[in-house]
Structure 1
Amino acid sequence: MPNNETVIEHENVNGIKLTLKVDKRLSSPNSRQFTISYKVDQNNSSWPKTYFLLAVIFNVLGLIYVRISITAILVIIIGFSSLLIFYIRHCVQSESLLVIPTVGIQSSVKYVCGRQDNFVPWSSIDDVIINEVIKMNRVLYYLTVLVKQNNQNATESEAVKLIPLFKFTKPRLFMLEKIYSELQTLLIDAQRDVAMGSGDKE
């Protein structure tokens, strides 16, 4: 499927290099896919494997030259296995947002093992904002979708639900503004098309 791709590189709030890819599908001009992933440095890609190999060698040497009980060895193995499983299941590789006007938006988080998707219908989207959050001594920005709740018994404050996007990769305001401007354009165009369509029916 042919597409038009824009790539932007920038650091996140922690100084880690990120890559933003904006895919504009030519077959469906209004749809967009925003993908933020960690930029892999070819020069440093072998360092984690080296650290892991050195850690295994030092642990084996420690077990050979230091007398430890079998129970202590089992506790160490279980502890390392738990940390490894947690890393595989919770280490985020990338986050993406697929936007198809009049259909909905789908946010996805890709882990080392598996992915998690969250779909919001277009009719439930109220607005998209950039939310400012003060955390410790830093000011963080989150791209947030305002979703209308269908519950009639909900109070005015509960009528709208906030769904933050890209909360794991934590891009800076520069990247968020790029995504925000395109999302607002898609929302305004879709609202105008709906208004024109309802006007034709009258």
Structure 2
Amino acid sequence: MSALLRHEWRRAGLAAGLAAPVALALTVALGAVAGRPDRLLLAGLEAVVPLALAMAAVSVMVRERLRELHLSLPVPHTATLARRLALVAGGAAVLCLAGTAALVAVDGTGGPGGGPAALIWASPAVFLGGLAVLVTVATRSAAVAATAVGLLWLGEQLFAGLFAVHRWLHPFFMFATLRGGSDRSWLANRLTLLAAGALFLAVAALLLHRPERLLDEEDDQ
């Protein structure tokens, strides 16, 4: 790892970097104790890891305190944040890919195999993480962003039946694999979540490109 990436990893914070791996490890351990390792691994990949990554994203976004300094640097602040987010997400992705391969090997995904199986966790992670970044940038509040992410995640868990059966809600259902398996609408659901998450990130990047917003954030804190 280059000196720049090591620096960015430290600036992202140890808690953010370990959030998703620790969450997945705890879920797998619980599955081993409960005697349902494949089912709990699937739950960890589709439900627990995306939530952990979203909370880690909030932490990364609010960790930097000297935002006005970045206005004088040749590298845009948006690029710096993107590197840190990518490092946090990349570390988690390596473990998730290994977990996905293990699930596919034992036919524990409920249907999707090969490349599409990675969408089990990648789609909800991008969707929820993108939302976390956007709300953090828009509101300048870690508490608001974490609450919004947590409420959406919990709401989809509590009202999973509604999201599973209503056609207009199903494209945004993060737990389609756990709750519904892999039917004909599964891939459309995964791609919709990816597109929505990418849109959230794009809007957040546009907001961060406004220099006055960085200064306003520093003043607010």
Larger radius of gyration: 1
Bigger fraction of residues in helix = 2
Instruction: Tell me which interval the TM-score lies in, with the shorter structure as reference length.
Output: under 0.3
**TM value normalised by structure 1:** 0.27
**TM value normalised by structure 2:** 0.25
